Amino acid sequence: MLDLTLYLVTDSGMTQRHGLDATVRGAVAGGASVVQLRDPDASDDEFVALGRLVLGALRSSGVPLLLNDRVHLVEAVGAQGAHVGQSDLDPVEARKILDRGVQGGAIGDDAPRPYLGLSCTNLEQVEAAERLPAGTVDYLGLGPGWATRTKADHKEPLGVEGITRLAGAATLPTVAIGGIDVERAGLLRGCGTDGIAVVSAICATEDPESAARSLREVWT
C-alpha cells in the first residue's frame, strides 16, 4: 500500500542549493513517504541519470520513487512506478507498459507491481478515473489547491472546498497538490485526501529535513 502522507515532487532548479540527492535525503529523514522525480526539461538520458541518483538517496529508506510522465523510463531507472497527467500517456497504456516491465523480468521477478498515479483537476476527470479498469491506477493527485509557480500552465485553483469535493467523489486513494505550504496543509487537514504533495515547500527551503518534518506534523 502506497503511503501518500507526505509526497515530495522534485524540482531540479529549486534543489540546486543543496543538490538533488541531499534534498531528497533530508526530506525523507523529515518524513517524506513518496518521492516523484519531475524534470520536464531533461532529456531521457539525463532523466535516467537523475533517477538513479535519487534512487541511491532513497536506498534502505523504503520510500518509493515514482517518475513524472516518463513511464517508458521506469524500467531503466529501476523506479517503483510513475505518475501521469491528463495530457500525458493514457493511463491504460501506461499500466500496460509498467506491467510489461515486470512480466519481462526487467524490473525484477520478485518486484511488486509498479505504482501508477493520475492527476485530476475536476470532477469529470475523477469520475472517469473511477471508471478505468480495476488496478489501472493506484491513486489520484487532486489539484491545484492553490496557484503555484512550479507549473505555469496549471488549471484554476480549487481551494479547500474544491479539493474536498473531488476527494469525496473518489474511492481511490488521493493526494492534494498545488501551492501547499505548512499553513495550507493545516487548512486541508480533514479534506478527505490521504496526504499532501509539495514541491517548493521542501525543495526551495534552507532545511529540507526540517521543512518536511513540519509539514508532516501539521498534516498528521
Burial of 97 (0-12, 13-18, 19+ CB in 10 A): middle
**Amino acid at residue number 47:** F
Q: Which of 11-41 are b and which e, b meaning 16 or more Cβ less than 10 Å from the residue's Cβ?
A: bbebbeebebbebbbbbbebbbbbbbbbbee
Which 3 state secondary structure label does DSSP give 76? Answer: helix
- Active-site annotation holds for 210: no
- Active-site annotation holds for 12: no
Question: Where is 175: in which H helix or E strand?
Answer: strand 174-177
Could you count the other beta carbons within 10 Å of the beta carbon of residue 156?
10
Catalytic residue, from 12, 33, 119, 214: name it: 119
Catalytic residue, from 25, 70, 95, 151: name it: 151
Cis peptide bond N-terminal to 144, omega within 30: yes
Catalytic residue, from 12, 25, 33, 38: name it: 38
- Active-site annotation holds for 38: yes
Catalytic residues: 38, 119, 151
